[in-house]
Amino acid sequence: MDTSRILFIHGSDSSGQTYKAQVLRKTFPELLSPDFSGPLAVRLAQMESIIGDEGGWTLIGSSLGGLMAALFAARHPTQVRRLVLLAPALHLPEFSRHPPKPVEIPTLLIHGKQDDVVPPEPVHRLAKRVFPRLTYLSVDDNHRLHHTAETLDWRSLLEDE
């Protein structure tokens, strides 16, 4: 696994220095975790400029960052080797109104049972339709997933199949 091509995409009211990025950086020091700002289209353009035409990316997106990762993966499936969605905002209209066609990217969806920001069930249903190689983890956590981020074995989760 090329650990220099791991991109963490934070949520809407967060930054590249968010707690989950700090936890991930302990395992993957080369992790890219830039700050994204502005409306979704601007954030996606920022992300596309970082990724460029390179392949082999692992995208880890949290909340709105999960929506960004899912949209990018659906539009550029050959550039993404693995997708990790942390309570992704797939219920927002940019994804849910016209879900992308299915893409065969190994995808891990982690959602907290006490999430009161992003509804777990509709997101899970949408993710299963778009990402047929989906692994779903329902965890005893809230939307921020801080406890889960601390306890997961990130290296084994991101290893090649």
pLDDT 10s digits, 83-139: 999 999 999 999 999 999 999 999 999 999 999 999 999 999 999 999 999 999 999
Asked if residue 160 has pLDDT above 70, the reply is no
In whole angstroms, give the CA distance from residue 25 to residue 73: 22
Q: What is the pLDDT of residue 159?
A: 80
Q: Which residue has the higher pLDDT, 157 or 133?
A: 133
CA angle 108–23–104, rounded 5-degree value: 20
Residue 55 pLDDT: 95
**CB 110: neighbour CB atoms within 10 A?**
23
Q: Which fold has domain 3-158?
A: Rossmann fold (3.40.50)
Percent of the chain with pLDDT over 70: 98
Query: What are the sequence ranges of the domains in the chain?
Result: 3-158
Question: Is 135:159 a contact under the CB 8 Å cutoff?
Answer: no
Distances from the Cα of 83 to the Cα of 8, 60, 95, 109, 145, angstroms: 10, 6, 16, 8, 17
Res 13: pLDDT:
87
Provide the mean pLDDT of the chain: 95
- In angstroms, the Cα distances linking 55 to 6, 14, 116, 119, 123 are 11, 26, 35, 31, 26
* pLDDT on residue 1: 66
pTM assigned to the model: 0.95
